[in-house]
Amino acid sequence: MPSLERLFRTVGGVGLVAGVVVTIYGFTASVDVVAMLAGVFVAFVGLSLLVAGVLWPRFEGPDGPGA
């Protein structure tokens, strides 16, 4: 079973890529503002999850959680 950090990194990376793709679609589809805003939101959530997955182990300390 994958760890929570790995799940955050995977879902965050996919979300970031999906957000960029949707934002680019918003620019090419006759400047669809709703698609651009949705893409920016999805990319922001994806980036937040990606950062959480990368930084989470650093806050747990060398001896694991609760040490």
The model scores a pTM over 0.75 = no
DSSP 1-64: ---HHHHHHHHHHHHHHHHHHHHHHHHHTT--HHHHHHHHHHHHHHHHHHHHHHHHHHHH-TT-
Task: Delimit the domains of the chain by residue range.
Answer: 12-55
Amino acid identity for residue 10 in this structure: T
Tens digit of pLDDT at every position of the chain (67 positions): 468 888 888 888 888 888 888 888 887 867 778 888 888 888 888 888 888 888 877 776 666 665 5
